Amino acid sequence: MITTIDNFTKQILGNLKPATKIFLAMARMEETEKPTLLAISNRLDSESTAGITEKSDKIKSKLSGN
Can you tell me the distance from the alpha carbon of 40 to that of 34, in angstroms, rounded to the nearest whole number? 9
Neighbours of 2 (CB within 10 A): 6
The tens digit of pLDDT for each residue in 3-61 reads 777 777 777 777 777 777 777 777 766 655 666 667 666 766 666 666 665 555 666 66
Pick from 28, 29, 9, 21: nearest CA to 50: 21
φ, ψ of residue 36 to 5 degrees: the values are -80, 165
H or E stretch covering 16: helix 2-27
| pTM given for the model | 0.34
> What is the number of domains present in the chain?
1
* Structural domain range at position 58: 2-64
